[in-house]
Structure 1
Amino acid sequence: MSKKAQGLSMNVIIIAAIALLVLIILAVLILRAGRGVTEGTGCRGIGGRCYSTCQDLMDDEGGLWVKNLPNSGTAGGCAQDEECCVRLIEQPET
């Protein structure tokens, strides 16, 4: 009778180990997939440019640029002291 009890506990341990391995693999896959979301919604992903200030960008390249607050600084992939500037009006090509 003691052999059956050992076999049952060994089966439970093996099943629990397999379930834990599957959960770890799923967690890794989900965390990897989340990286693309940040890149796609960051400053460059929305067509913006990281620059010291949007006014400096307008002075350097022309056009009308506005600051995108959610993507400014490190939240949008820019440096801490940079702003995410998005072109408001496209310049017509001549």
Structure 2
Amino acid sequence: MFRMWCKLFDDRGHLIKDTVIKNADSDLNRTRKIFAAIHDACYEFDLAEPIWLDSNVSEFQRHSKVRFTKDNFVEDIEFAYMEIEVIEED
């Protein structure tokens, strides 16, 4: 089972919303599971999906965790940042 924790934080670092997205599809590779989980979380939070910058990619590759700030979103956001973290992998 693949699980990813998606969280929204305010400018004081307080958790506003969170969700855990699960994916048991063994036909998908890790990258596709990550993008599917982000898609599902953004749908649940009623957000546009963030844009991956090079710094996000390298941070995620090192820690399986990354923050998306206002620079990663095309539209204005009502929170300071969104953090995603892989908490379980197949």
Q: TM-score, normalised by structure 1?
A: 0.25
More helix by share: 1
More strand by share: 2
Q: Which has the higher contact order (CA 8 A, sep 6+)?
A: 2
